[in-house]
């Protein structure tokens, strides 16, 4: 068998790692308050894989033999566990289905090519027999980009890029690295930092997502304010298509017609298989700091973030949580460390004395990178803006903690699902002038949806990426679900997405479209935009070989 590692078949992350709250005394009361669940009640036992009925592979043995001839005996498999692992991503819809054995259609065969030449041969073999190819990176997708259509009658290949995991070359003079698309975030950074470089791309999914996946979904990392979104970072591309490789060379900026690079970015597998990306890399900065700040309320927080974006300051991270998420952060902090210190060491009394309402307080993290003098100046510029908007600096401690914990949140979702609460996220972006209204509308819509379906629910948000003309708002929502969690989820998720559209915001800032956001695509980019995109897909992939039906569902 291949040595490519995967996440748990039924949930996020690595076997043996899970969220626990023994050392977080504020957590249980918080969950009780938010979704009405006692986390100390007995949890659902983990499903056993043996209880799952996995559909048979429909691949002919001849075709499997042919694929094995290309990638080697051990790198093409119809094994049931392999096929289940490659059926879904990790959205709440995926988790609920896979845990309950709702597997309408799995891939028929999973292949692990070793290099681009093998990918080309697999693609050409698939086209020859009219099979379907779904490229697979880390499997962290949460918008339904990975699953085969339930009624797909053709053979479905899950093409796992996990063996294409090497940094091939670093052009140290240009700050450009050629990297294979299947590399996971940590493996990529390890290879780069060994030579003094960093990609600077740290999405929440970092530990279990790949470079190719980031490009295919227009990913954005926590430090995008400095390093850019993946569409900025990915300069060169190699994409295997029937009969040959589409090659976009790494050029800093070009005027060569409609951007084919920007067609591949975000294509979610529909235009071919991304095998290599040439990315901008940066020297590991001399200094890197994340400072925490508190603001008296959400309005002041937004105004401060906006003013920072307009100022001469160029922080690497601008993040601020609303009061609800700030409360959540305090509730998930360990008793004796970091953030919780803030609320225990007299600060709360101090702030109340200043006239703050503790339940309206918003926690912010601002990141600084560069030379010592640059960092010092940035901190000074930001500090003045924070002060102007009534905020206060609370030092490095919480930032260090945030930095350590930032990739752990997804584990919490499995913990909650085991205890009867469904949680997921919706993220968007909008101009600065629309952010406050967008926020209010999305919160109100979610709460109306909870009322409509009669559940106790929770929603919180943070601003996560700033641009000249606007910002990304990232919502996390959870509710105590009933017997049909997915039907309930559809109501809540749908209400939030529609609120985005109605507020002039986009359906996704960095998660992609897949199946999950496709119903709102036309309202976002207009019927004309969908028609142009559909024409692109139809002309570039007339047989519907590449991940058909994603982004635009017909």
Q: Which stretch binds a second copy (CB under 8 A): 86-94, 156-164, 413-421, 431-439?
A: 431-439
Distance CA 472, CA 516 (A): 19
Taking the least distance from each CB to a second copy, the nearer of 32 and 523 is 523
Angle (CA) 184-314-209 rounded to 5° is 10
Closest CB 263 distance from a second copy, rounded Å? 4
Footprint of a second copy on residues 214-233 (CB under 8 A)? 217-220, 229, 231
Q: Which stretch binds a second copy (CB under 8 A): 168-176, 187-195, 319-327, 385-393?
A: 168-176
Q: How many residues bind a second copy (CB under 8 A)?
A: 94
Q: Are 12 and 90 in contact (CB under 8 A)?
A: yes
Distance CA 119, CA 108 (A): 17
Q: Which stretch binds a second copy (CB under 8 A): 35-43, 316-324, 392-400, 498-506?
A: 498-506
DSSP H/E element including 167: strand 167-171
Q: Are 315 and 374 in contact (CB under 8 A)?
A: no
Bridge-based pairing state of the strands 457-466 and 317-321:
antiparallel
Q: Is 60 in the site for a second copy (CB under 8 A)?
A: no
Closest CB 451 distance from a second copy, rounded Å? 30
Burial class (CB in 10 A: 0-12, 13-18, 19+), 550: buried
Q: Are 15 and 65 in contact (CB under 8 A)?
A: no
Q: Quick one: tokens of 368?
A: 């600084």
- With tokens 């708002």, the residue in question is 473
- With tokens 């002919």, the residue in question is 60
Q: Which of 288, 413, 342 is nearest to 31 (CA)?
A: 413
Query: Binding pattern to a second copy, positions 88-117, x when CB under 8 A?
Result: ------------------------------
Closest CB 228 distance from a second copy, rounded Å? 9
Bridge-based pairing state of the strands 167-171 and 156-160:
unpaired
Closest CB 242 distance from a second copy, rounded Å? 10
Burial class (CB in 10 A: 0-12, 13-18, 19+), 404: exposed
Taking the least distance from each CB to a second copy, the nearer of 114 and 251 is 251
Q: Which of 112, 227, 293, 474 is catalytic?
A: 474
Distance CA 449, CA 494 (A): 9
Taking the least distance from each CB to a second copy, the nearer of 73 and 173 is 173
Footprint of a second copy on residues 236-265 (CB under 8 A)? 239, 241, 244-260, 262-265
- Interface residue with a second copy among 431, 444, 452, 543 (CB under 8 A) is 431
Alpha helices in 107-176 (DSSP H): 116-128
Closest CB 530 distance from a second copy, rounded Å? 8
Closest CB 247 distance from a second copy, rounded Å? 4
Q: Which 3 state secondary structure label does DSSP give 7?
A: coil
Taking the least distance from each CB to a second copy, the nearer of 283 and 396 is 283
The answer to whether 474 is a known catalytic residue is yes
Q: Is 554 in the site for a second copy (CB under 8 A)?
A: no
DSSP H/E element including 370: strand 362-370
Distance CA 314, CA 381 (A): 9
Edge-first strand order for the sheet with 244-248 is 167-171, 176-180, 273-280, 234-241, 244-248
Closest CB 506 distance from a second copy, rounded Å? 4
Bridge-based pairing state of the strands 156-160 and 109-111:
parallel
Between helix 485-502 and helix 432-453 the angle, nearest 10°, is 150
Phi and psi angles of residue 362, each rounded to the nearest 5 degrees, phi first? -125, 130
Q: Is 171 in the site for a second copy (CB under 8 A)?
A: yes
Q: Which stretch binds a second copy (CB under 8 A): 73-81, 323-331, 397-405, 499-507?
A: 499-507
Footprint of a second copy on residues 464-493 (CB under 8 A)? 465, 467-472
Distance CA 363, CA 339 (A): 10
Distance CA 244, CA 356 (A): 63
**In 10 A of CB 195, how many CB atoms?**
13
- Interface residue with a second copy among 164, 509, 515, 516 (CB under 8 A) is 509
Footprint of a second copy on residues 300-359 (CB under 8 A)? 306, 310, 312, 314
Distance CA 63, CA 40 (A): 51
Taking the least distance from each CB to a second copy, the nearer of 67 and 507 is 507
Closest CB 382 distance from a second copy, rounded Å? 14
Footprint of a second copy on residues 261-290 (CB under 8 A)? 262-268, 270-271, 280, 282-283
Closest CB 144 distance from a second copy, rounded Å? 13
Taking the least distance from each CB to a second copy, the nearer of 409 and 523 is 523
- Interface residue with a second copy among 511, 516, 547, 548 (CB under 8 A) is 511
Q: Quick one: tokens of 109?
A: 């065969």
Query: Binding pattern to a second copy, positions 434-453, x when CB under 8 A?
Result: x-------------------
Query: Binding pattern to a second copy, positions 518-547, x when CB under 8 A?
Result: ---x--xxxxxx-xxxxxx-xxx-------
Distance CA 554, CA 270 (A): 14
Query: Binding pattern to a second copy, positions 172-201, x when CB under 8 A?
Result: -xxxx-------------------------
Query: Binding pattern to a second copy, positions 368-407, x when CB under 8 A?
Result: --xx-xx--x------------------------------
- Interface residue with a second copy among 507, 515, 546, 547 (CB under 8 A) is 507
Distance CA 398, CA 319 (A): 13
Taking the least distance from each CB to a second copy, the nearer of 193 and 433 is 433
The catalytic site residues sit at 474
């Amino acid at each position: 068998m291949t040595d490519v590692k995967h996440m748990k078949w039924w949930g996020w992350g690595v076997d043996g790692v899970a969220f626990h709250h023994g050392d977080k005394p504020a957590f249980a009361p918080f969950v009780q308050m938010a979704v009405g669940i006692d986390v100390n009640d007995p949890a659902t036992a983990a499903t056993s894989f043996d209880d799952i009925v996995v559909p048979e592979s429909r691949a002919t043995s001849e075709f499997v033999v042919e694929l094995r001839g290309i990638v080697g005996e051990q790198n093409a498999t119809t094994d049931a566990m392999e096929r289940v692992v490659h059926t879904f991503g990790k959205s709440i819809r995926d988790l609920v289905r896979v845990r309950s054995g709702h597997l309408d259609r799995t891939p028929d065969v999973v292949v692990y090519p070793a290099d681009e030449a093998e990918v080309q041969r697999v693609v050409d073999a698939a086209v020859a027999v009219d099979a379907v190819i779904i490229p697979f990176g880390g499997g962290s997708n949460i918008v339904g980009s990975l699953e085969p259509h339930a009624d797909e009658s053709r053979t479905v290949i899950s093409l796992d890029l996990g063996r294409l995991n090497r940094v091939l070359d670093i052009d140290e003079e240009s700050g450009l690295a050629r990297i294979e698309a299947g590399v996971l975030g940590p493996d990529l950074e390890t290879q780069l930092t060994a030579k003094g470089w960093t990609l600077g791309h740290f999405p929440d999914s970092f530990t279990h997502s790949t470079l190719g996946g980031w490009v295919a979904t227009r990913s954005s990392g926590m430090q995008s304010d400095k390093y850019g979104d993946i569409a900025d970072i990915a300069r060169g591309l190699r994409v295997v298509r029937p009969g040959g490789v589409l090659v976009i060379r790494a050029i800093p900026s070009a005027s060569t017609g409609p951007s084919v690079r920007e067609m591949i970015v975000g294509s979610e597998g529909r235009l071919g298989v991304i095998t290599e990306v040439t990315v901008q890399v940066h020297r590991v900065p001399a200094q890197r700091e994340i400072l925490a700040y508190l603001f008296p309320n959400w309005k002041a927080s937004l105004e401060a973030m906006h003013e920072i974006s307009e100022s001469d300051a160029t922080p690497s991270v601008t993040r601020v949580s609303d009061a609800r998420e700030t409360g959540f952060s305090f509730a998930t902090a360990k008793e004796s460390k970091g953030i919780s210190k803030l609320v225990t060491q007299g600060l709360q009394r101090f702030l109340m004395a200043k006239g703050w309402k503790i339940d309206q307080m918003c926690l912010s993290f601002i990141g600084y990178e560069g030379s010592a003098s640059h960092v010092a100046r940035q901190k000074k510029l930001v500090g003045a803006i924070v002060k102007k908007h009534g905020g206060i600096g609370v030092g490095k401690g919480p930032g260090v903690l945030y930095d350590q914990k930032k990739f752990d949140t997804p584990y919490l979702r499995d913990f909650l699902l085991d205890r009867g609460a469904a949680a997921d996220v919706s993220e968007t972006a909008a101009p600065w002038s629309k952010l406050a209204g967008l926020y209010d509308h999305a919160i109100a819509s979610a709460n109306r949806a909870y009322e409509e379906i009669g559940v106790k629910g929770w929603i919180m948000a943070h601003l996560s990426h700033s641009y000249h003309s606007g910002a990304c708002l990232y919502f996390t929502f959870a509710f105590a679900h009933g017997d049909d969690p997915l039907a309930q989820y559809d109501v809540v998720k749908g209400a939030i997405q529609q609120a985005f559209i109605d507020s002039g915001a986009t359906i996704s800032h960095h998660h992609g479209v897949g199946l999950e956001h496709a119903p709102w695509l036309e309202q976002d980019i207009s019927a004309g935009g969908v028609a142009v995109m559909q024409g692109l897909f139809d002309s570039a992939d007339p047989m519907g070989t590449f991940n058909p039906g994603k982004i635009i569902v017909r």
